[in-house]
Structures are given as C-alpha cells and as structure tokens.
C-alpha cells in the first residue's frame, strides 16, 4: 500500500512539535541555570570590553564582551553575550556587577538584569510549550484524519 503525498507531509509535520518541545525545554533549562548562578554564584566585577547594539528592524539585540575580575585576583573573558534589545540599555556602562558560577550552564550573569532574564526564559519556555501542545494536537489530528480517510478508501 503506497502512501499519499499528503500523508507523507503529515508525517514529516511531526518535526514542528518536536522542535517546539526542544525549544521549550531549552528555555526552561536556561531559566534554571540562570537561577542557579544568581543564587549560588560569587559576586564579581566585569569590565565591558565591547558593547554592540543593533538597531536594525530585522535584528534588534545587544551583544557584549566582558572581562570578569574575580575577588581572588584572577580574570577571564566572556565573549559574545547576547541580550534582548529591551533590556540592553540597562547595561550601557564601563563596568558591571556580575554573578559567576564556574562550570554552570550560565557561568556569568549580569546581576542587575538577572531576574529579568529569568522571567524572559520562563515566559519563552511557557509560550513554546503552549504552541507545542497546539502543534501536537494539530499534527496528531491531521495524521489520524488521513489514516481514517485511507481506511475508508481502502475498504471501498
């Protein structure tokens, strides 16, 4: 029994809910990692070595590089930290207070905007999960409907 083109597309459509679920899980893990760093990390001072803000309509974000100075005198660099454009203006400074938790998923968190980033990650995860549920129901229903339609046409 050969499969119709629409049945093949319906099967491939399972990629959409899978990707949405992966995005949701990623955002929830990010929220947990940010929380862990803020709650368990060490306070430090970071020097902003590069601050780049994109004001284009299609790409609006802030990206910066930090040179983090730890209390024990050691330093390390964190590059290409991307921030949402909506909170990027809050970190326009030469130096920033940061919280550091070496080895965690989010090693460096800018202390001033950390709670906001956690809220954004939770919101993104929740929205992606809701859309995942909608996509799952849609793709499941579509595949089921096509299966029934094939059974009916096969029985005739």
pLDDT band at 1, cuts 50/70/90? very low
Which structure tokens are listed for 115? Answer: 């709670």
For the stretch 36-39, contacts whose Cβ atoms lie closer than 8 Å and that sit 24 or more positions apart, written own/partner, are 36/101, 36/104, 36/105, 36/106, 37/99, 37/100, 37/101, 37/104, 37/106, 37/107, 37/108, 37/109, 37/114, 38/99, 38/109, 38/111, 38/114, 38/115, 38/118
Within a domain: residue 47? yes
What is the number of domains present in the chain? 1
Which structure tokens are listed for 81? Answer: 């930290």
Q: What is the pLDDT of residue 155?
A: 67
Within a domain: residue 153? no
Instruction: Please determine, for residue 57, whether its predicted confidence score (pLDDT) is greater than 90.
Output: no
The whole-chain average pLDDT of the chain stands at: 92
Within a domain: residue 2? no
Q: Which pTM was predicted?
A: 0.85
């Amino acid at each position: 029994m050969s499969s119709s083109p629409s049945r093949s597309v319906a099967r491939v459509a399972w990629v959409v809910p899978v990707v949405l679920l992966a995005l949701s899980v990623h955002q929830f893990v990010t929220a947990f990692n940010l929380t862990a760093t803020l709650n368990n990390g060490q306070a430090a001072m970071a020097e902003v070595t590069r601050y780049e803000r994109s004001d284009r309509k299609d790409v609006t974000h802030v990206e910066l590089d930090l040179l983090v100075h730890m209390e024990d005198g050691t330093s390390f660099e964190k590059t290409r930290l991307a921030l949402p454009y909506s909170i990027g203006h809050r970190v326009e400074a030469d130096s920033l207070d940061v919280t550091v938790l070496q080895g965690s998923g989010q090693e460096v968190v800018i202390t001033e905007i950390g709670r906001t980033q956690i809220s954004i990650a939770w919101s993104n995860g929740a929205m992606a999960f809701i859309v995942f549920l909608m996509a799952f129901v849609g793709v499941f229903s579509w595949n089921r409907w096509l299966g029934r339609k094939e059974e009916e046409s096969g029985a005739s």
